[in-house]
Amino acid sequence: MTSISTTQSPQRNLLQRVQETRARASEIEDTLDDHPYAEDQILLKVDADLSQEQIRQLAADYGATVGQQFPIPEVMKEKFNGQLLLLKTGASLSEAQTMAAMEGDSRVLLSAVNDQMELVNGVTAPRVNANGEPVTAEAGQDERLPNDLNPEQWALRNKNIRGGKDGADISAGKAWNITTGGGKNGPIIAVIDSGIDAFHEDIKDNMWVNPVESEKDGQDNDRDGFTDDVHGLNAVDGTGNIFDEVGHGTHVAGIIGAVGNNEKGIAGVNWDTQLMGVKIAEGERVSLIAAINGTLYATERGARIANHSWGGPRRNPILEDVMASSPMLHVCAAGNAQQDSDQHPFFPAGFDSPNIISVGASTRRDDPLFFSNWGANTVDVHAPGARVFSTLPVHEYDELSGTSMASPHVAGVAGLIVSKFPDITNEEIRDRIMFSSDPLEGMRQLSVSGGRLNAFRALEDDKIAPADITGLKVTGTSADGFSISWNGVGDDGMEGKAARYELLADFGDKQQRLIPQFPKGSGEKEVFNFQTNPLDVERPFSLKLNAVDNVGNRSGVATTSGVMPAAEVPLSNNFDADDNWTTEGTWGKVAVEGRGLVYSDSPEGPHEPGSDTSLTSPAFSLKDMRNATLSFDAKMTTNKYDFLFVEVSTDGKGWKNLEVLRQDRTPGYDQWGSYKMDLSKYDGQEHVQIRFNYEPSNKSKEDGVMVDNVKVISAKNVGGEA
């Protein structure tokens, strides 16, 4: 990478660089179109050794000025290894053009736009309890309950709750027998949100107090650039006014640390703690600059844990770097979009860093909350998030729902863990929270842990790991999977039952985390069946398996390996040789450079408007087959009203639609794309045919459709499944 030369005029150099990076700027522009961001601003991470004069020159080289330079806390400097800037760009270049031009500059380490994010809104619901009347909670065996545990707080104690399931809670009563929080000597928990009502009757005694700004006197006593930041920072306007006009942050704060046993309102997960308010939103819109400033502020002032009940769908590399470099544990709401975060990530919860925990929401019946995001690899754990009763500004209380409410339950339990084990690492806290969670079959495929938060199990003082696994072997293979078995182990050696098994598969070109069933118990035969799409080549694989207990102690790693055989290929044709495909209408073969012969609906030039033509495969058999898959290449030079129907028949007469391709479902106009379609519905059929039926509109002539490399592969049933 090279910096812009100074031997020519800066303007001429910049224009030349912009011309050279036009294609890259277009790519960046495409990624920015879907989600809002602040215009004329770019976040920049630059080399740590640049002087202030060199930073000003860097900005000037791109027609920009330095709007802000973020102070990096001492504890972050080594890991962050750079300087963080906000550039104000000139009117002559777009954000995408500037970022593309900077990619060749050795002074620039990262760049990103100033994304606009949002609070993960809580949904209000009417409050009810078992009898419609206040009830007094009575402590059960091994429980310690405060005198202000509200019966609406099912997340902490779910017993005789209307519409609830006894025990579908975080076992707070048992956890409080071990610790109720570290108080003024315990961890500082930053609530990075819409602010906190620091004078709420049930929160004020648990607010963190800046030791150098102990009273509001209109002075910046600690000379940090922020006036009267007594209980935290308003990172939006740079003052100490953290009052919460929205209510979101105050609700989150109450879940984490409403004062316990004070005969008022509710009890937090921590009865006695230090809550730092960091306001990054006025209204529902989150300022990314405020979020970064707030994270740096909380880190500088010693916060151990931060809760982030906000986010957005675009990965911002600057925010990711800041959070990963901070020594805080970041507990993040997984989002309320009702979608798979493995496929549609939500950030910052989706950042892959050992100091980030992503939290989905559960209900009082231990079901996933219907609008919570999930992700077998990107959501770590579920926690109560449906109709959660907590504090609101001006001494109010009410219920809200969402992952915004689930995340602070985890942040609160993290606070209890640090209070009990002050020297614990972020990775160890994360392990305790995930593997101590209560295993729930309905969540096994929805998060890494497959469970719902359990505070009591997370606080166990256990140093004995599960026994090493014996008897691991491959018991069967097929083109679409394999089976393995092993001897179950315990929680402590061979005693009890392990919390989870961790299974990692290496297929040569990729590693994949697999999800076994929950452990049966010590000495039990454990079995796992893996299934995937078949391929027409052999696939060697190797496996690593270990057991883990509820606090993260792990057994040794057992290994084994095997080979999945190549799939059957009932149909395959690249059309270079003679074939027995049948055509109707104008379909015929044409030569394409780099491909050889392919089929085209209009080999003599653009098709006629409204033509209806088809290309049909010979019959093939899927008898004794399973998991059949169709693949092919296609190129569509069409308009948006032209359709390619991919159809299937089991008798050569009746045709059923498998999928429809059109311009907006392809890689783009006049481009080749590869497609895969599930044919498993036709497994076992002796007569199967594929047909490509092209139906263009009556509006225009186009070159139409080309098809190549049609293949059907499937796994063979041999004595049952693998």
Report which secondary-structure segment, H or E, holds 319. helix 317-325
Q: Which amino acid is located at 178 in the chain?
A: I
What CATH number is attached to the domain comprising 426? Answer: 3.40.50.200
Using an 8 Å Cβ cutoff, are 13 and 4 in contact? yes
Given this model, what pLDDT does residue 665 score?
64
Burial class (CB in 10 A: 0-12, 13-18, 19+), 106: exposed
Q: Give residue-wise pLDDT tens across range 522-562.
A: 999 999 999 999 999 999 999 999 999 999 999 999 999 99
**From the candidates 404, 483, 614, 714, which is the catalytic residue?**
404
Asked whether residue 143 is domain-assigned, the answer is no
Cα 453 to Cα 450: distance, rounded to the nearest angstrom = 10
> What is the count of structural domains for the chain?
4
Using an 8 Å Cβ cutoff, are 700 and 460 in contact? no
Average pLDDT estimate for 109-131? 70
Given this model, what pLDDT does residue 129 score?
35
Indicate the pLDDT class of residue 306, thresholds 50, 70 and 90.
very high
Cα 683 to Cα 701: distance, rounded to the nearest angstrom = 39
Residue 698 carries which DSSP code? S
Given this model, what pLDDT does residue 112 score?
95
- Which three-class secondary structure state does DSSP give residue 251? helix
Q: Give residue-wise pLDDT tens across range 559-583.
A: 999 999 999 999 999 999 988 999 9
Q: Give residue-wise pLDDT tens across range 58-81.
A: 999 999 999 999 999 999 999 999
Cα 39 to Cα 88: distance, rounded to the nearest angstrom = 9
How many Cβ atoms from other residues are within 10 Å of residue 131's Cβ? Answer: 10
Q: 204 and 114 in one domain?
A: no
Using an 8 Å Cβ cutoff, are 5 and 87 in contact? no
Q: 648 and 599 in one domain?
A: yes
Among the listed ranges 85-94, 166-175, 273-282, 494-503, which one has the minimum average pLDDT value?
85-94
Q: 337 and 408 in one domain?
A: yes
R_g of the chain, CA atoms, integer Å: 30
Place of tokens 């005789």: 160
- Which three-class secondary structure state does DSSP give residue 286? strand
Average pLDDT estimate for 303-319? 97
**From the candidates 200, 248, 251, 607, which is the catalytic residue?**
248
Take residue 651 and report the two structure tokens written for it.
């008798």
Portion of the chain with pLDDT greater than 90, in percent = 79
Cα 711 to Cα 620: distance, rounded to the nearest angstrom = 11
Among the listed ranges 140-154, 416-430, 660-674, 688-702, which one has the minimum average pLDDT value?
660-674
Given this model, what pLDDT does residue 138 score?
67
Question: Left, alpha or beta for 594 (phi > 0: left; psi -120 to 50: alpha)?
Answer: left
Cα 541 to Cα 565: distance, rounded to the nearest angstrom = 11
Q: 694 and 586 in one domain?
A: yes
Among the listed ranges 140-144, 407-411, 473-477, which one has the minimum average pLDDT value?
140-144
Q: Give residue-wise pLDDT tens across range 333-368.
A: 999 999 999 999 999 999 999 999 999 999 999 999
Asked whether residue 190 is domain-assigned, the answer is yes
Q: Which residue did the predictor score with more confidence, 90 or 272?
A: 272
Q: Which amino acid is located at 444 in the chain?
A: R
Q: 561 and 583 in one domain?
A: no
Last residue of a domain, one of 458, 489, 509: 458
**From the candidates 105, 169, 193, 491, which is the catalytic residue?**
193
Q: 544 and 587 in one domain?
A: no
Which residues does residue 277 pair with via DSSP β-bridges, in sequence order? 191, 232
- Which three-class secondary structure state does DSSP give residue 342? coil
Asked whether residue 465 is domain-assigned, the answer is no
pLDDT at 722 over 60: no
Last residue of a domain, one of 566, 590, 625: 566
Indicate the pLDDT class of residue 134, thresholds 50, 70 and 90.
very low
Closest CA to 239 of 279, 203, 284: 279
Last residue of a domain, one of 566, 582, 609: 566
Indicate the pairing of strand 329-333 with strand 356-362.
parallel
Given this model, what pLDDT does residue 12 score?
53
What CATH number is attached to the domain comprising 111? Answer: 3.30.70
Cα 529 to Cα 477: distance, rounded to the nearest angstrom = 10
Q: Which residue did the predictor score with more confidence, 608 or 651?
A: 651
Among the listed ranges 38-52, 126-140, 278-292, which one has the minimum average pLDDT value?
126-140
Query: What is the DSSP track for 626-656?
Result: EEEEEEEEEEEE--TT-EEEEEEESSSS--E
Asked whether residue 384 is domain-assigned, the answer is yes
Q: Give residue-wise pLDDT tens across range 386-415.
A: 999 999 999 999 999 999 999 999 999 999
CA angle 445, 359, 123 (to 5 degrees): 110
Place of tokens 């290929």: 569
Cα 421 to Cα 483: distance, rounded to the nearest angstrom = 40
pLDDT at 223 over 90: no
pLDDT at 670 over 80: no
Q: Which amino acid is located at 511 in the chain?
A: Q
How many Cβ atoms from other residues are within 10 Å of residue 89's Cβ? Answer: 21
Q: 234 and 186 in one domain?
A: yes
Using an 8 Å Cβ cutoff, are 359 and 401 in contact? no
User: Please, what is the average pLDDT of the chain?
Assistant: 92
Cα 674 to Cα 218: distance, rounded to the nearest angstrom = 65
- Which three-class secondary structure state does DSSP give residue 574? coil
Indicate the pairing of strand 396-401 with strand 123-124.
antiparallel
Q: 525 and 449 in one domain?
A: no
pLDDT at 126 over 60: no
Take residue 306 and report the two structure tokens written for it.
């931060």
Indicate the pLDDT class of residue 222, thresholds 50, 70 and 90.
confident
Q: 615 and 537 in one domain?
A: no
Asked whether residue 264 is domain-assigned, the answer is yes
Cα 330 to Cα 354: distance, rounded to the nearest angstrom = 9
Asked whether residue 135 is domain-assigned, the answer is no
**Total-model pTM:** 0.89
Q: 576 and 533 in one domain?
A: no
Given this model, what pLDDT does residue 609 score?
79
Given this model, what pLDDT does residue 54 score?
96
User: Which phi and psi angles does 458 have, rounded to 5°?
Assistant: -70, -15
pLDDT at 250 over 50: yes
Q: 386 and 263 in one domain?
A: yes
pLDDT at 8 over 50: no
Which residues does residue 360 pair with via DSSP β-bridges, in sequence order? 382
Cis bond upstream, residue 348 (ω within 30): yes
Among the listed ranges 214-218, 280-284, 593-597, which one has the minimum average pLDDT value?
214-218
Using an 8 Å Cβ cutoff, are 413 and 425 in contact? no
Q: 551 and 489 in one domain?
A: yes
Q: Which residue did the predictor score with more confidence, 538 or 222?
A: 538
pLDDT at 125 over 50: no
Indicate the pLDDT class of residue 284, thresholds 50, 70 and 90.
confident
Cα 208 to Cα 198: distance, rounded to the nearest angstrom = 9
Using an 8 Å Cβ cutoff, are 343 and 377 in contact? no
Asked whether residue 299 is domain-assigned, the answer is yes
Whether residue 248 lies in the annotated active site: yes
What CATH number is attached to the domain comprising 600? Answer: 2.60.120.200
Given this model, what pLDDT does residue 557 score?
98
What CATH number is attached to the domain comprising 478? Answer: 2.60.40.10
Full domain range(s) for residue 189: 153-458
Asked whether residue 133 is domain-assigned, the answer is no
Among the listed ranges 219-233, 250-264, 703-717, which one has the minimum average pLDDT value?
219-233
Cα 378 to Cα 447: distance, rounded to the nearest angstrom = 7
Cα 364 to Cα 170: distance, rounded to the nearest angstrom = 11
Given this model, what pLDDT does residue 242 score?
96
